[in-house]
Structure 1
Amino acid sequence: MDMKRIGSKIAYYRKIRGMTQVELAEKAEMSASYISRIERGASVQGVPLTIYLRLAVALGVTLEDLYRD
């Protein structure tokens, strides 16, 4: 699965929970600009699995939810 697709899923789960990028960033302990890059699939170096795990926990979903088609 590509980074853009995972980023879209993160944005989807964030929006259905009524969260802003800033709120998700605070909950996942990262910057809102990094959340934005992840959601757009624009991270140049790729995103470590640990970051996806932190986001999944903050969103109340599993890694499988983010990776599943």
Structure 2
Amino acid sequence: MAEKLLYYRKKKGITQRQLAESIGVKHNSISAWEKGTNAIDIEVLYRICCVLGISISDIYGRYGSYGADDLSFTERQIIEAYRGQPEMQTAVQRVLDIR
């Protein structure tokens, strides 16, 4: 989990201090979490995920059937909704010009 937190924070392009300020903790907490020396409270983890635009599953490295690091949480939700609405798939394919 520590490596994923570091990865997604850097992918978002924010510093430890910026992340800490946005979730209301001290910046040294972020450092400890990224090193794996301290555990993250679930409520704080949720706030981190909101700031980084990812899911808790992303942090734990569990991606369901997608497995791609380049898909955001929102993109996975869109794919799941698309798969669950076969009657809309043709319309979406037309809009996106997919044949």
Which TM-score tier does this pair reach, normalised by the shorter chain? Answer: 0.7 to 0.9
Give the structure 2 partner of residue 3 of structure 1.
none
How many residue pairs get aligned? The number is 62
Which of 33, 36, 40 lines up with 1:41 in the alignment? 36
Aligned residue identity for 1:54: R
**RMSD, matched Cα:** 1.2
Aligned residue identity for 2:46: L
Aligned residue identity for 1:56: C
CA positional deviation for 1:47: 2.4
CA positional deviation for 1:32: 0.4
Pick 1 or 2: higher relative contact order, CA cutoff 8 A, min separation 6. 1
Aligned residue identity for 1:49: I
Percent identical: 32
Give the structure 2 partner of residue 21 of structure 1.
16
Unpaired stretches in structure 1, ≥5 consecutive residues: 1-5
CA positional deviation for 1:27: 1.0
Aligned residue identity for 2:47: R
- Give the structure-1-normalised TM-score: 0.80
